[in-house]
Amino acid sequence: MTALTSALDYASISKYFIASFTRGHLLTTIYCSILVDKITARLRCWSSRALSYAARCILINSVLLSLHSYWANIFIIPKNVLMEITVVCRNYLWDGKPISTRTPMVSWEAICKPKCYGGLGIKDCYMWNIAAVGKYVWNIASKTDSLWLKWVSHVYLQGKDFWSYKPHKTASWTWKQICEVKDKLKGGYTGDIWSARALKGYSMGSGYTWLSQNQNKVIWQKWAWNRLNVPKHGFICWLAMSKRLRTKDRLYTYKICKDDTCPLCGQYCETADHLFFSCVYSLLCLEKIKYWISIGCKASGVNKIYRWLDKDQGIKFKKGVQIATITAAVYQIWLQRNSAVWNLQVQQPDLIVQRIKADVLCRVKQLVPMKISNSDRAWLASL
């Protein structure tokens, strides 16, 4: 951190932001680098902890990006600063460190999609910044009675229609950014999406949701993010459903491994579909799990099992436990696959099944509500 950055505080940055609006100055990177420094400092405290992907995802969304959200409420953050924040968060998610050369398994654009669209629900810094600026557009469009609005109308609009207004090339950078966001959110404003919200009006959350729409929903999001799933199990299931696990068929294409043979059975090409659950080893584990959890589906593919459970008209609680069990099986099979590749060791299926049972029962008993029916409670006790 430079001496200038360390000497800045929020009051001095606020004064500079006002100056940038009135005199056309740009809120430069050096004034926002303190935000990147704060985020990086948090990561250095967490780097020594052995956290799972799911735990890192929670920390990024709830802690790191909350710092960005606070700043976005006050400033229009430059794009290069947003890019730095994105790189730091991406590196921490996949490698546990703020600086990394490791190739991500999933693009950041896909990760920032809502969970119903196949992402992780991590906020996109750039899109959230647009939604934050949208509140200024809302105040201008709704003609809020404020001194700031009167000043904008007198200096810039001068009686012109706001939606057809184009900023002059000599206008300040901040005003140009507001007009640029106006064009992006125009469809939502003119379509009465926020006007119909009566007393609530526009909010950054609703603006971000509107910007994130028009995507294809995925059916498997309710399987990967089932409430009874262990979080780290759900993350691996998400990678499996997204076809982003580094299985040998993908690695062999890039000449990273010598062959594409499944390390568990040693017979067929290792793909995600083969690993879950067409492989002899994983199929043996699956049959034991089906018997334990009372799953009558005869299919062996993970997608087919999930679809069968989704169509089953059984008890909702029981179905949730069954989904959590299959998700735990996906996680444990992936662990054994990695152990076979790196340690040349594979545990017996009975030990894997016992571990799956222990993980599921521990998770379910922690989250089970006290008001479940007696029949559900008796069924859980019988497992």
Most confident of 28-42, 210-224, 309-323, 334-348: 334-348
Whether the pLDDT of residue 11 is over 50: the answer is no
Please state, as a whole number, how many other Cβ atoms lie within 10 Å of the Cβ of residue 291.
10
- pLDDT category at 196 given cuts 50, 70, 90 is low
Angle between helix axes 173-190 and 204-211 (nearest 10 degrees) is 70
Q: Which residues contact 50 (CB under 8 A, 6 or more apart)?
A: none
Mean pLDDT along residues 154-166: 85
DSSP state at residue 269: B
pLDDT of 28 above 70: no
Dump pLDDT digits (tens) for 197-250.
Answer: 544 678 888 888 888 877 888 989 989 999 999 999 999 999 999 999 999 999
Is residue 341 classed exposed, middle or buried when 0-12, 13-18 and 19+ CB atoms within 10 A define those classes? middle
Whether 321 has a pLDDT exceeding 50, the answer reads yes
340 pLDDT above the threshold of 90:
yes
Long-range contacts of 58-63 (CB under 8 A, 24+ apart): 58/231, 60/89, 60/92, 60/93, 60/122, 61/121, 61/122, 61/123
SS3 261: strand
| Cα-based angle 40, 45, 47 (whole degrees, multiple of 5) | 85
What pLDDT, in 10s, does the model give residues 285-319? Answer: 999 999 999 888 888 888 899 888 888 767 889 99
Top-confidence residue, 193 or 46? 46
**Each residue of 361-371: pLDDT tens digit?**
999 988 887 67
- Conformational region of residue 259, where left means phi above 0, alpha means psi within -120 to 50, and beta covers everything else: beta
Asked if 323 and 226 count as a contact pair (C-beta separation under 8 A), the reply is: yes
pTM: 0.86
Beta bridge partners of 111: none
**Span 239-284, pLDDT tens digits:** 999 999 999 999 999 888 999 999 999 999 999 999 999 999 999 9
Please report the pLDDT score of residue 200 as a whole number: 65
